[in-house]
């Protein structure tokens, strides 16, 4: 692997070339990338299996192993997502906020690529494809630093992507990967501001803290979700059970999966046993606060219930575990979420539009849901194509970061011999 300085220099040069590509050229490259991934699917899956086997030997949790695993169907879905991005509008070059000043100057803002991105992420090789796809469509070069668990997968994936780029006459340095597992390289990457324009860490709180404290590059953090659903006293309980089941078990190892269920005290005695029965089918362990514990321990599925510990409502479980609490009403639900949420994905299940409106206004997650699963907080589900991350911060981008979020803008000023008086 070349030094990070050399990688940064090459990425900067590649970014200038990508910025000049037409939408047609970028789309052609994306289709070539999808085709190359298909041709090399067997080799990619073999490399991924090597990572999975090593991860299992090293004692990775089932949640991390699930994130790490590529199979034929998952890889086919990623390739299909790459092709879908071809059909999405290209934001680069879009003119907006145009106006003419009284002196005749014509002003507008024009969307442009950010330049060079750096993305640090955990055991998710699918992210490698997602980021390469979105970066290419928006004319950005990217330096990837996947977790050591994904080393063989990422070496295989990036080699295939670079091969596709070169076949299209584009620089291989448009997509590069740091494959050396030495953690010192992460700190070195955080100081590569001469070449890298934006840093996106996708990982745990420790990685986010490191990047915010030590990076000399602007950082966008996201991907940590302590996600809540509040079921109020007016909710359609049958629909609520289906939404909770989907939010918790459809894929429990991801950041938009449900972590805490809050239930209004007026329906708790009826609703909680029904929820426990529904979730017990999937072997979900319930960590219940006092009032919820009293109800659930009397029920048929009490063997799946444990008392909630002092830190259980601050956990992103990434597993078949769910915190459960009975609340007096909307005020207490909102207050609980304010104390414990990471502002990723929070939902209310209700038939009271006043409650729904207040919840939407007062809960400041990157995505707030009314009568819908938290699992929808996703670039593909929102119609953005793939995503680089789900941003939980407030500047530049929030929620799924799709194509538009990977651009910035510049002012364009057209005159006719104008001079400032």
d(CA 271, CA 229): 14
**Lookup: tokens for 208:** 């986010």
Strand order in the sheet with 116-121: 175-177, 141-145, 116-121, 198-202
Q: What per-residue confidence (pLDDT) applies to 394?
A: 79
In a domain, 136, yes or no: yes
In a domain, 25, yes or no: yes
Same domain for 68 and 114, yes or no, is: yes
Q: What per-residue confidence (pLDDT) applies to 101?
A: 96
Q: What per-residue confidence (pLDDT) applies to 64?
A: 84
Q: What per-residue confidence (pLDDT) applies to 335?
A: 98
Same domain for 117 and 25, yes or no, is: yes
Same domain for 279 and 195, yes or no, is: no
In a domain, 178, yes or no: yes
The residues, any chain, with a CB within 8 Å of residue 315's CB and separated by 6 or more, are 226, 259, 321, 323
What is the residue-wise DSSP string for 96-149? Answer: EEEEE-TTS-EEEEEEEE--EEEEEE-S-HHHHHHHHHHHHHTT-EEEEE--GG
Q: What is the CATH number of the domain that holds 328?
A: 3.40.309.10
Q: What per-residue confidence (pLDDT) applies to 57?
A: 95
**Lookup: tokens for 180:** 């050396």
Q: What is the CATH number of the domain that holds 68?
A: 3.40.605.10
Q: What per-residue confidence (pLDDT) applies to 282?
A: 97
Same domain for 13 and 138, yes or no, is: yes
Same domain for 196 and 77, yes or no, is: yes
Answer whether 385's CB lies under 8 Å from 88's CB. Answer: yes
pLDDT in tens, the chain (421 residues): 789 999 999 999 999 999 999 999 999 999 999 999 999 999 999 999 999 999 999 999 887 898 899 999 999 999 998 999 999 999 999 999 999 999 999 999 999 999 999 999 888 899 999 999 999 999 999 999 999 999 999 999 999 999 999 999 999 999 999 999 899 999 999 999 999 999 999 877 788 889 989 999 999 987 688 999 999 999 999 999 999 999 999 999 889 999 999 999 999 999 999 999 999 999 999 999 999 999 999 888 889 999 999 999 999 998 999 999 999 999 999 999 999 999 999 999 999 999 999 999 999 999 999 999 999 999 878 877 667 888 888 777 889 888 999 999 999 999 999 999 9
Name the residue among 345, 194, 176, 193 with its Cα closest to residue 259.
345
In a domain, 390, yes or no: no
Q: 198-202 and 345-349: which strand pairing?
A: unpaired
Q: Give residue 267's domain range.
A: 227-376
d(CA 180, CA 174): 19
In a domain, 387, yes or no: no
> Of all residues in the chain, what percent are helix, strand and coil, respectively (each to 5)?
45, 20, 35
Same domain for 359 and 407, yes or no, is: no
**Total domain count, the chain:** 2
Same domain for 194 and 299, yes or no, is: no
pLDDT tens digits along 127-144: 999 999 999 999 999 999
Same domain for 152 and 26, yes or no, is: yes
d(CA 120, CA 168): 27
**C-alpha 404: how far from chain center:** 15
Same domain for 179 and 43, yes or no, is: yes
In a domain, 388, yes or no: no
In a domain, 215, yes or no: yes
In a domain, 385, yes or no: no
Same domain for 215 and 334, yes or no, is: no
pLDDT tens digits along 249-259: 999 988 999 99
Same domain for 131 and 242, yes or no, is: no
Same domain for 200 and 256, yes or no, is: no
Q: What per-residue confidence (pLDDT) applies to 385?
A: 67
Q: 227-231 and 345-349: which strand pairing?
A: parallel
């Amino acid at each position: 692997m070349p030094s990070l300085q050399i990688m940064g220099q090459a990425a900067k040069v590649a970014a200038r070339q990508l910025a000049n590509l037409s939408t047609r050229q970028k789309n052609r490259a994306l289709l070539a990338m999808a085709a190359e991934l298909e041709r090399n699917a067997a080799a990619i899956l073999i490399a991924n299996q090597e990572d999975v086997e090593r991860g299992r030997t090293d004692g990775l949790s089932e949640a991390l192993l699930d994130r790490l695993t590529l199979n034929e169907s998952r890889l086919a879905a990623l390739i299909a997502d790459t092709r879908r991005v071809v059909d999405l509008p290209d934001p680069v070059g879009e003119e907006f906020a145009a106006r003419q000043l009284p002196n005749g100057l014509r002003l507008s803002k024009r969307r442009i690529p950010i330049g060079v991105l750096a993305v640090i992420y955990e055991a998710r090789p699918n992210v490698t494809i997602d980021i390469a796809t979105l970066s290419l469509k928006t004319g950005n070069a990217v330096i990837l630093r996947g977790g050591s668990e994904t080393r063989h997968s990422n070496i295989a994936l990036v080699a295939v992507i670079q091969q596709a780029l070169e076949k299209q006459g584009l620089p291989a340095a448009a997509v590069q990967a740091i494959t050396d597992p030495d953690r010192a390289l992460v700190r070195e990457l955080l100081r590569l501001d001469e070449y890298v324009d934006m840093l996106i860490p996708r990982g745990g709180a420790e990685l986010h803290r490191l990047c915010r404290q030590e990076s000399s590059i602007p950082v966008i953090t996201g991907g940590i979700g302590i996600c809540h659903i509040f079921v109020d006293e007016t909710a359609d309980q049958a629909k609520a059970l289906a939404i909770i089941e989907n939010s918790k078990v459809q894929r429990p190892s991801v950041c938009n999966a449900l972590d805490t269920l809050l239930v209004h005290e007026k329906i708790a005695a009826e609703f909680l046993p029904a929820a426990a029965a529904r979730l017990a089918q999937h072997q979900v362990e319930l960590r219940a606060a006092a009032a919820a514990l009293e109800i659930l321990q009397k029920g048929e599925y009490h063997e799946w219930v444990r008392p909630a510990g002092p830190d259980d409502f601050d956990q992103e479980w990434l597993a078949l575990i769910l915190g459960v609490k009975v609340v007096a009403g909307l005020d207490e639900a909102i207050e609980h979420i304010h104390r414990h949420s990471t502002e990723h994905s929070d939902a209310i299940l209700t038939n009271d539009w006043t409650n729904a409106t207040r919840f939407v206004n007062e809960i400041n997650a990157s995505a707030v849901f009314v009568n819908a699963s938290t699992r929808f907080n996703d670039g593909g589900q929102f119609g953005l194509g793939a995503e680089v991350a789900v941003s939980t911060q407030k500047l530049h981008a929030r929620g799924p970061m799709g194509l538009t979020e990977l651009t910035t803008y510049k002012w364009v000023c057209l005159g006719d011999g104008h001079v400032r008086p």
